[in-house]
Amino acid sequence: MAPEAKSGIVDRLRNIDRRIIFIFVAASVVIPLMFPLGLPLKSSPPSRALFQEIESLQRGSVVLMAFDYDPATEVELGPMSLAILKHCFRKGHKVVGLALWPQGAGLARATFSEAGSDYNVKYGVDYVNLGFKAGGLVVIDSLGKSFHESFPKDVDGTPLEDLPLMKNINTYADIDFVMSMSAGDPGLPFWIMMAQGRYGKKVGGGCTAVSAPMLYPYYPNQLVGLLGGMKGAAEYELLVGEKGAATKGMDAQSIAHALIVLFVIIGNIFYFVGKRRAKRGGGVI
């Protein structure tokens, strides 16, 4: 093949229409969802630690769970919230839900409903949803003084005194374990700072894959366990023994990740080919 023709192909591939890349990405996600590969999954130490912590709590323990995310990250944090709630209900733990993100309260409601449908749990007795409160770090700190002052009513406007579960819960002293499903700020770092650092409670939780590296420094001393992204959610589903949306998404994530790695390698090959050609021809790359 003539050198001109070769360089033409290299140039064309280097500047490939991004829509072609989009088609590959779409196919890498859709095809494994339609035809699962069933790639084996194993759990990581931070996921196992979180599972063990909930597993080791006594029946009837109170778990505070913050839904600090919005629909944008629901795909990652929704499945892990659901798996953790199911685990809590199965073990007979009581769950107090709240949200530091406005949309978190609505997502909490849907997750509680879905998790509760599989177990004999009752709203107000086995779990409550306190709803959203603006203020982030300050809200977390104020819970150390009084849950009833910070959240006088639940998400539906029911006074906390009317909810049997909340009659004996007023400060962190009444909580056995704190968790945050965190998509950013306010989220897990704030809970670690206040609930763990100031009030000495054990804190665990989940986060998006992109924010997991930032939270690793807290594990395992200040953060007893961590689920990172959809993989973390799938690992928890594996540990709980209930395959859900995250497990189903693992094949798609695997192929999409492999495809992106492949794109980077191909992009670099063309980069070095172009660089060598420019060097020979005295051009600039």
Q: Where on the chain is the footprint of another protein (CB under 8 A)?
A: 16, 18, 21-22, 24-26, 29, 39-42, 44-45, 70-75, 102-103, 105-107, 109-110, 113, 133-136, 138-139, 141-142, 145, 149-150, 155-157, 209, 212-214, 216-217, 219, 228-229, 231, 250-251, 253-261, 263-264, 266-268, 271
Q: Which is nearer to another protein, 1 or 265 (CB)?
A: 265
Write down the least CB distance from residue 223 to another protein, Å: 12
Long-range (24+ apart) CB contacts under 8 A made by 149-154 are 151/98, 154/128, 154/129, 154/130
User: Is it true that the peptide bond before 220 is cis, omega within 30 degrees of 0?
Assistant: yes
DSSP class per residue in 203-214:
EEEEE-GGGHHH
Write down the least CB distance from residue 167 to another protein, Å: 22
Write down the least CB distance from residue 91 to another protein, Å: 25
Write down the least CB distance from residue 202 to another protein, Å: 20
Q: Which is nearer to another protein, 176 or 250 (CB)?
A: 250
Q: Which is nearer to another protein, 57 or 75 (CB)?
A: 75
Q: Which is nearer to another protein, 176 or 205 (CB)?
A: 205
Q: Which is nearer to another protein, 22 or 161 (CB)?
A: 22
Write down the least CB distance from residue 15 to another protein, Å: 9
CB-CB contact of 226 with 206 (8 Å): yes
Collapsing DSSP states into helix, strand and coil, what is residue 27?
helix
Helix (H) or strand (E) holding 31: helix 18-34
**How would you list the strands of the sheet with 94-99, edge to edge?**
127-132, 94-99, 62-68, 177-182, 203-207, 226-228
CB-CB contact of 165 with 128 (8 Å): yes
Query: Which amino acid belongs to residue 234?
Result: A
Write down the least CB distance from residue 64 to another protein, Å: 18
Q: Which is nearer to another protein, 18 or 59 (CB)?
A: 18
**Residue 143 backbone phi and psi in degrees, to 5:** -65, -25
